[in-house]
Amino acid sequence: MKFAPVFRAAALASMIALLPATTAGFAQVEGRASPEFAKLFATYQRIKASYVEPVEDEVLIRGAIDGMLGALDPHSGYIDGAAFERLTTMIDGEYQGLGISVQMDDGAVKVISPFKGSPADEAGIKAGDYITHINGELIYGLEINEAVAQMRGPAGTSIELTIFRLGRESSFEVDVTRGVIELEPVTWELKPGNLGYISVNEFSKDVGADVYRGIRELRAQAAGSLNGLVLDMRRNPGGSLDESVALADLFLSEGQIVSQRGRHRRDTVFYEAETVFRGDALEGLPMIVLIDEGSASASEIVAGAMQDHNRALVMGQRSFGKGSVQTLLPLSRDTALKLTTARYYTPAGRSLQEGGIEPDITVPQISDPDAARRARLSVRESDLRGHLVNEVGLEDEIFETDKMDDPRFQLTAEELEEQGIEDFQLDYALKTLRRTSGTSIASR
């Protein structure tokens, strides 16, 4: 089986827009040198002259850049060297490693998502895990590039990761064998009852076209009698904005899909359904969209569009809440700024930032033995230090943990296993579709 790309650092995990730009006027304000730059230069001079040991200019300048970007939000950053090379390599689509997406969180390496079927996924690593040690060596405080470099390696070699998981009382070790990771963002399968299941692992090139091909093949397997579809975007950290629009366009005949609004007029863009695939590819068949706390960015755009247009029932757990646009601003041939430049809004004008997408039906993943504790302690965008605040304001209730007191959700993972249920959320979605087969199913 082919897997999604190996490690993508924070720059790759959260970026869903790559737009060229220039940096003219960087050190000036309205044509005049900013007084604040005099303080910066004076500090630089004092350090160079008086620090206990000589300091290279490269160290000081990089520290100043990181400090400026660190004062903004968790998704803005400076890309150079290995990170820039990985950004380029990722487009080629083949890697050797673990198949996992990570970012830095207050000095710790946090797992955004293991890609489905990857070595990391098969080893049991989950979204929200923190990697504290590699082969017994503490990696807290390392640059993301250093940590990622240690985790990459030839296929067939093993690595020991020490994992801290919210809800567990102590850390534990996981042995993972690296593999060849090749881009395969979309998979599909016909489930009993002629129900289609399509999993979208990330939003890379041709995702919209691949999902359309999946629908056609599912129809053929069902002898033309497809009765519904589950679109699974759980643990999907995002990717291309264009592909998220293309995917939503598959199921919408008209109307707005998403809008982005920034500081300048040029940053405000509205994306409309263009019926590229001649209207709703499912022709009105019932549809459920699965999301969880690992569904971010482009995944939230699609889920929000389906929800606002009453096209699908959104099920699972509240999504991550990353509603900001990152633009890649080149500085040189091998360096760039990844800068937050706008916010996303659903067709109904809801900001995705902080709150994310609240499912129409909350269904916890109780087949995960740590589900209850993970739900109480899970980390989302609103928990990241320095995150952008939702400009319209949100009630505190939206940040409460997912409800776990429904009697339907009181079965244990062991009891589910005895019933042959490995994925409770998917099982629940399929059963819901079977009950509604032959009728429309909408989010409101």
Q: What is the pLDDT of residues 186-232, one digit of tens each?
A: 999 999 999 999 999 888 888 999 999 999 999 999 998 999 999 99
Q: What is the mean pLDDT of the chain?
A: 79
User: Residue 290 forms beta bridges with which residues?
Assistant: 232, 315
How confident is residue 290, by pLDDT bands cut at 50, 70 and 90?
very high
| Tokens matching residue 89 | 């390599």
Query: So what's the pLDDT on residue 441?
Result: 55
What residue type is assigned to position 209 of the chain? A
Q: What percent of the chain has pLDDT over 70?
A: 75
How confident is residue 374, by pLDDT bands cut at 50, 70 and 90?
low
Q: What is the pLDDT of residues 318-329, one digit of tens each?
A: 998 888 888 888
- Whether 73 and 340 have beta carbons less than 8 Å apart is answered as yes
What residue type is assigned to position 409 of the chain? F
280 classed as catalytic? no
Q: Of 101, 199, 204, 297, which one is the catalytic site residue? A: 297
Query: So what's the pLDDT on residue 189?
Result: 96
Query: So what's the pLDDT on residue 321?
Result: 86
- Whether 102 and 9 have beta carbons less than 8 Å apart is answered as yes
Lowest mean pLDDT among 157-161, 167-171, 271-275, 391-395: 391-395
- 411 against 309, higher pLDDT: 309
Query: So what's the pLDDT on residue 21?
Result: 35
- Whether 203 and 16 have beta carbons less than 8 Å apart is answered as yes
How confident is residue 2, by pLDDT bands cut at 50, 70 and 90?
very low
> With 70 as the cut, is the pLDDT of residue 1 above it?
no
297 classed as catalytic? yes
Q: Of 116, 126, 322, 338, which one is the catalytic site residue? A: 322
Phi, psi of 224 (to 5 degrees): 80, 5
> With 50 as the cut, is the pLDDT of residue 6 above it?
no
332 classed as catalytic? no
Q: Of 308, 324, 351, 443, which one is the catalytic site residue? A: 308
